[in-house]
């Protein structure tokens, strides 16, 4: 039996629908990320799960209890907000102890529990400081410790890392992941950073305009994006408009491409999608299909690889983004204007129905 069940959850603000018919089950101990662009309703969905907002429609069941209309104080969860919302006039220790009162715990038990959490997040030396005296990353960990102190069954994180700089984010997201594994607490994290979601989540829920676009493991989401929106939002994707010419063959702008047309019929308008890193540049002899030669029009240096835009030559008016490892760039002396031969492996090309016609 799943730990959390959402059934057709809808939240309206007046005439505006912020969350639209979301159904979802989350297993105990799972780490789920809500991913989507700004304003797509991630925070609203999270607040609905916590009871800080009540759904306009639908049902929420947590640990076998129907909690749909239950106020937050009667539910079982801990939450960390983007702003951390640490109480500025209480020390780190008092902040963490805040949720341990009102439970009949002895003073010494509370202190012991706080020590435990301080150790868990590695802030023993900072216990007597005030939040304003801590760095952003430290504040974030205090907020996490405070939310975890009462041992909640569900941990909700609303963009917990977005206020931090890149290095700290990278480090902290691993720490959150490890912590979650160790404690086994079911966790939902909201983020609009696809990389963050891919690296920490067991499953990702991609949202757009209040609706679920796709739910799946990071690998599923990345490799088999269900819609062009997901494909575009998670990673980078080349989109090419075309038409199914025959089973296994598509035509676009004078090019003919081999690809898997499985569920499409002849003549269907389609969008072909391929990721820049899936374009094959080496051992081309072993990839006879979809081989083209074109010119490098642009090159963006991105550190470990160079993202080049190719076109003209055999591509004609079509433009493609291709990721070239840095050693290959050096080897072939790639630069704007040089020619490049590459192949588009048929099994890496995804087809979507062309909505725009």
Partner 1 sequence: MAVQVAVPPARAGLALKADVWLTRGFIVAIILYLVVALALPLATLLQKSFEVYEFRPEKVALAFYRDGAWQDAGRLSEWVERRGYVLNDGLRASERSRERFVDIIPKRERRGVERFRVTDLSAGGGLLLLEGRLSEPGETFELSRREFSRLRLRPEARFGFDNYRYYFATPALRSSITNSLFIATLTTLIVIPIAFGYAYALTRSCMPMKGFFKLVALVPILVPSLLPGIGLVYLFGKQGVLTPLLFGYDIYGPIGIVMASAFFTFPHAFLIILTALSIADARLYEAALSLRASPARIFWTVTLPGARYGLISAAFVVFTLVITDFGVPKVVGGTYNVLALDIYKQVIGQQNFQIGAVVSVVLLFPAAVAFAVDRMASRRQVALLTARAVPLQPEPKRRFDLLMLGFCGLVAVYILGILIMCQLAALFTFWPYNLTFSLKNYDFDRMDGGGWASYWNSVEMASWTALIGTAIVFSGAYIVEKIRGLFAARQGFQLLAMMPMAVPGMVLGLSYIFFFNNPANPLSFLYGTMAILVISTIVHFYTVSHLTAVTALKQMDAEFEAVSESLKQPLWRMFTRVTVPVCLPAILDIAIYLFVNAMTTVSAVVFLYSTRTTLASVAVLNMDDAGDIAPAAAMGMMIFYTNVAARLIQTLLARAVLARTQAWRRR
Ligand X SMILES: Nc1ncnc2c1ncn2[C@@H]1O[C@H](COP(=O)(O)OP(=O)(O)OP(=O)(O)O)[C@@H](O)[C@H]1O
Give residue for tokens 């030669």.
293
The full DSSP string for 117-186 is HHHHTT-GGGTTS-GGGS-HHHHHHHHHHHHHTT--SEEEEESTTTTS-HHHHHHHHHHHHHHHHHHT-E
Q: In this chain, which stretch among 20-28, 43-51, 110-118, 202-210 interacts with Mg ion, using CB under 5 A?
A: 43-51
Q: In this chain, which stretch among 34-42, 177-185, 198-206, 258-266 interacts with ligand X, using CB under 6 A?
A: 34-42
Q: Supply the minimum distance, in Å, between the C-beta of residue 52 and ligand X.
A: 10
Site for partner 1 (CB under 8 A): which residue of 40, 149, 274, 281? Answer: 149
For 149, phi and psi rounded to 5 degrees? -55, -45
Enter the tokens of residue 184. 């086994």
What's the distance, CA 36 to chain centroid? 7
What single-letter DSSP state applies at residue 193?
-
SS3 331: helix
Number of residues that bind Mg ion (CB under 5 A): 1
Residue in 28, 53, 48, 352 with CA at minimum distance from that of residue 214: 352
- Partner touching 106 among ligand X, Mg ion, partner 1, none, CB below 5 to 8 Å by kind: none
Q: Is 106 in the site for ligand X (CB under 6 A)?
A: no
Q: Supply the minimum distance, in Å, between the C-beta of residue 44 and partner 1.
A: 13
Number of residues that bind partner 1 (CB under 8 A): 41
Q: Which is nearer to Mg ion, 158 or 323 (CB)?
A: 158
CA–CA distance from 232 to each of 28, 235, 249, 315 (Å)? 31, 6, 23, 22
Return the sign of the alpha-carbon dihedral for residues 287, 290, 295, 301: negative
Q: In this chain, which stretch among 10-18, 112-120, 168-176, 278-286 interacts with partner 1, using CB under 8 A?
A: 112-120
Letters for 8-27 (x = contact with ligand X by CB under 6 A, - = none) are -----x--x-x---------
Give residues 16-75 in contact with partner 1 (rule: CB under 8 A): 50, 52, 71-74
Binding residues for partner 1 (CB under 8 A): 50, 52, 71-74, 77-79, 81, 83, 85, 87-90, 98-105, 109, 112-113, 116, 119-120, 130-133, 146-147, 149-151, 182-183
Binding residues for ligand X (CB under 6 A): 13, 16, 18, 36, 38-44, 192
């Amino acid at each position: 039996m799943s730990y959390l069940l959402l059934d057709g959850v809808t939240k309206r603000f007046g005439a505006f629908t912020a969350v639209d018919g979301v159904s979802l089950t989350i297993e105990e101990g799972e780490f789920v990320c809500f991913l989507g662009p700004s304003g797509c309703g991630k925070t609203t969905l999270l607040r609905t799960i916590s009871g800080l907002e009540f759904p306009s429609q639908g049902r929420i069941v947590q640990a076998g209890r129907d909690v749909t209309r239950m106020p937050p104080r009667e539910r079982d969860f801990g939450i960390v907000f983007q702003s951390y919302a640490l109480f500025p006039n209480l020390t780190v220790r008092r902040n963490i102890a805040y949720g341990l009162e009102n439970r009949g715990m002895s003073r010494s038990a509370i202190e012991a529990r706080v020590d435990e959490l301080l150790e868990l997040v590695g802030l023993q030396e900072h216990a007597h400081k005030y939040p304003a005296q801590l760095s952003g990353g430290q504040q974030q960990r205090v907020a996490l410790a405070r939310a975890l102190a009462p041992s909640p069954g569900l941990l909700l994180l609303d963009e917990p890392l977005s206020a931090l700089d890149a290095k700290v984010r990278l480090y902290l997201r691993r720490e959150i992941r490890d912590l979650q594994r160790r404690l086994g607490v079911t966790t939902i994290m909201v983020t609009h950073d696809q990389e963050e979601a891919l690296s920490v989540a067991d499953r990702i829920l991609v949202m757009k305009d209040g609706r679920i676009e796709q739910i799946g493991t990071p690998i599923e989401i990345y490799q088999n994006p269900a819609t062009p929106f997901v494909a575009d939002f998670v990673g980078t994707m080349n989109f090419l408009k075309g038409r199914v010419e025959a089973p296994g063959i598509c035509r676009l702008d004078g090019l003919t491409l081999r690809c898997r047309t499985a569920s499409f019929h002849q003549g269907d308008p389609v969008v072909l999608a391929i990721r820049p890193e899936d374009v094959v540049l080496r051992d081309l002899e072993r990839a006879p299909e979809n081989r083209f030669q074109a010119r490098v029009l642009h090159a963006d240096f991105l550190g470990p690889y160079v993202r080049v835009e190719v076109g003209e030559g055999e591509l004609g008016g079509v433009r493609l983004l291709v990721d070239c490892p840095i050693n290959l760039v050096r080897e072939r002396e790639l630069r704007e204007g040089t020619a490049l031969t590459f192949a588009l492996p048929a099994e890496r090309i995804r087809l979507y129905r062309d909505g725009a016609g």
